[in-house]
Structure formats: structure tokens, C-alpha cells
């Protein structure tokens, strides 16, 4: 029984409607189109509903919540904004510094935050970098900045700047800020189980909104 482990109810046409979803559409068959070795089923929407919950998107190799991401970037853009990234490769994270470690970061200016961050990371490392999902948004009380942290994936090769380290082996490491230590620690835990979340808050406290995500090692 494929629906035994989930809560659902029958729609007006008998389709199973899952509970607690962002939206649902109940369709009748409209057309079947041959497309090579596939067929495309075109449905005619007969009933639908929108719960107002966050949807789930997929882009550039990672999942994200569009509503949360857009609100976070919009709010942060009103202040002095710094972009950073948890750049991951084979379970390791790119960190800068020797005795004191930090995430790669750059001040944001006009333009797309993800494009600005990608250009900075590729210049820093000399590697191909893909920006994934939004990972953390917080207000820095010590520096007065709005911080937006993305997950990113780096290509193969030796980085020109920074070095890849295993996050679960950095328990005794010294970080530039406590928020950086928290981000690396959370990433180590979440990547081990394959479930990631988006953090909203400040340096001392906030909320993690869980989102299902592609396994970081995949």
C-alpha cells in the first residue's frame, strides 16, 4: 500500500490528496502525446487548492524553498549584506585561514546575490562552483551586517585559495566567529543524514526550517 505511511483523503474525483502539502491539483486526462520513447500526459485541472505553505523547488543540484528564499534575500537586501558559502566537495567543506578558520565570504552589491557569490568563489578557488540552496540567513549583532549563506558544490582540482576539510573533524578548531562554528557543525550533522534546513535568526538564536535535500555526498 503505497499510501499506508502518509495521511491523505479522497478528492472529488477520487484522487488521493496528501495532507499538509503546499498545493494540490486534481486533473482529468486531456491528451496523450507521443514523445520518442516517452509519452506526455496532459491533464485538465478540475479542482485545486493552495494551503499557503512553502513549496519545494530544485535548481543547480539542490532543493530550496522559493518563498523563504525570496523573503530572506529581500529582507537582507535592505541592510549591509554579506554573502558566504558552505562550499562542499565529497563531504568536505572549503575553509579559509590556518589557525583561525572562516567561510569564504564577500560583500554584496547591486545585482544577483548568487551570481556575485559564484563569481567570487570561482575567482578565489580557480574551480567551477555551482551555487545550490539557501542555507542560513542571520543578522550579525557584532558587525551590523545581514548574512546570507548558500550551499555550493565545487568541481575537482586543487583550490587556489582555501582548503577542503572534513567538518566532523573540526570539533577543536578555532573559528573566526561563533556563527561560523555553528554553521559548520550543523552542516556536519545534516550532511550525515541527508536532511538540510534553512536557518533564520541572529548570532545567538533562531529557527531551522527543515527541507528535504539531495544527499550532500551524491
Q: Is 134 helix (H, G, I), strand (E, B) or coil?
A: strand
Q: What is the mean pLDDT of residues 176-187?
A: 89
The pTM assigned to this predicted structure is: 0.63
What are the structural domain ranges in the chain? Answer: 8-50, 57-212
Mean pLDDT lowest among 19-33, 47-61, 62-76, 171-185: 62-76
The answer to whether 87 touches 154, Cβ cutoff 8 Å, is yes
Which helix (H) or strand (E) element contains residue 110? none
Give pLDDT tens digits for 54-106. Answer: 777 665 555 566 665 665 566 555 557 889 999 999 989 999 999 999 999 99
pLDDT score of 209: 64
Give pLDDT tens digits for 167-177. Answer: 888 888 899 98
**What is the fold of 57-212?**
Nucleoside Triphosphate Pyrophosphohydrolase (3.90.79)
Number of H helices, E strands in the chain: 3, 16
The whole-angstrom separation of Cα 66 and Cα 72 is 10
Amino acid at each position: 500500500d503505497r499510501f499506508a505511511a502518509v495521511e491523505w483523503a479522497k478528492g472529488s474525483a477520487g484522487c488521493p490528496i496528501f495532507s499538509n502539502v503546499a498545493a494540490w491539483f486534481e486533473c482529468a486526462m486531456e491528451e496523450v502525446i507521443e514523445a520518442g520513447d516517452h509519452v506526455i500526459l496532459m491533464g485538465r485541472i478540475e479542482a485545486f487548492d493552495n494551503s499557503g505553505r512553502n513549496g519545494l523547488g530544485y535548481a543547480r543540484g539542490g532543493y530550496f524553498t522559493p518563498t523563504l528564499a525570496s523573503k530572506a534575500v529581500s529582507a537582507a537586501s535592505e541592510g549591509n549584506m554579506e554573502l558566504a558559502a558552505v562550499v562542499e566537495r565529497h563531504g568536505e567543506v572549503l575553509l579559509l585561514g590556518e589557525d583561525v578558520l572562516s567561510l569564504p565570504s564577500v560583500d554584496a552589491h547591486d545585482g544577483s546575490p548568487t551570481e556575485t557569490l559564484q563569481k567570487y568563489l570561482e575567482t578565489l578557488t580557480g574551480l567551477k562552483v555551482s551555487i545550490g540552496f539557501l542555507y542560513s540567513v542571520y543578522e550579525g549583532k557584532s558587525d551590523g551586517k545581514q548574512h546570507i549563506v548558500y550551499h555550493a558544490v565545487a568541481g575537482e582540482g586543487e583550490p587556489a585559495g582555501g582548503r577542503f576539510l572534513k567538518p566532523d573533524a573540526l570539533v577543536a578548531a578555532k573559528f573566526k566567529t561563533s556563527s561560523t562554528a555553528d554553521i559548520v557543525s550543523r552542516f556536519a550533522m545534516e550532511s550525515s543524514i541527508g536532511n538540510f534546513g534553512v536557518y533564520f535568526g541572529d548570532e545567538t538564536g533562531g529557527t531551522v526550517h527543515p527541507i528535504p535535500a539531495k544527499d550532500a555526498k551524491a
